[in-house]
Amino acid sequence: MNLRTALPWGRIVRFGVVGVINTATYYCLYRLFLLALPYLFAHLLAFVLAMIGSYFLNCYFTFRTKPTLRTFLLFPLTTVSNLVIQTAGLYVLVEWVHMNQEIASLVAALAAIPITFVATQLLMTGRRKPTGAAETLVPEREPQP
């Protein structure tokens, strides 16, 4: 098996681009909301808005799929899985491997990316198809005569 042809490199690169955009969006919104809100509220609001933007970017840009209510509601699970993997990885690297905290954070984040990519890809492009137009967030366009 050839690794070059086995992996969806275009999707992986686009996933990384969306991650950078999502992080920048979160940080800009967080700083903006800090002007009027306590930091935890600013964080949560920025996180939720950035995650919504990330969902649509991953649909249209990364995986080129149609947004559905099902995937929209399940998408936060990929974010939670990323958080759990990063947190567990950070703990293991610092406590068991005795790695420097600053470096361990980066290593744990990098280690979580492939797992998050696979989870997001399965969610967005899984074999299960939408069951009807009511589930689609973007209405189907009628063919032009």
Which pLDDT score, from 0 to 100, does residue 5 have?
A: 58
Rounded Cα distance between 47 and 64, Å, is 23
Nearest to 114 by CA among 7, 4, 2: 7
Rounded Cα distance between 137 and 67, Å, is 6
Provide the residue type at 79 as one letter: T
Which pLDDT score, from 0 to 100, does residue 4 have?
A: 56
The burial of 40, by beta-carbon neighbours within 10 Å (0-12 exposed, 13-18 middle, 19 or more buried), is given as exposed
Mean pLDDT for each 10-residue chunk of the chain (145 residues)?
A: 65 90 91 92 90 94 92 90 86 93 84 87 71 45 51
Torsions phi, psi of 35, nearest 5? -65, -25
Q: For residue 43, count other CB atoms closer than 10 A to its CB.
A: 16
Which pLDDT score, from 0 to 100, does residue 112 have?
A: 83
Rounded Cα distance between 88 and 96, Å, is 11
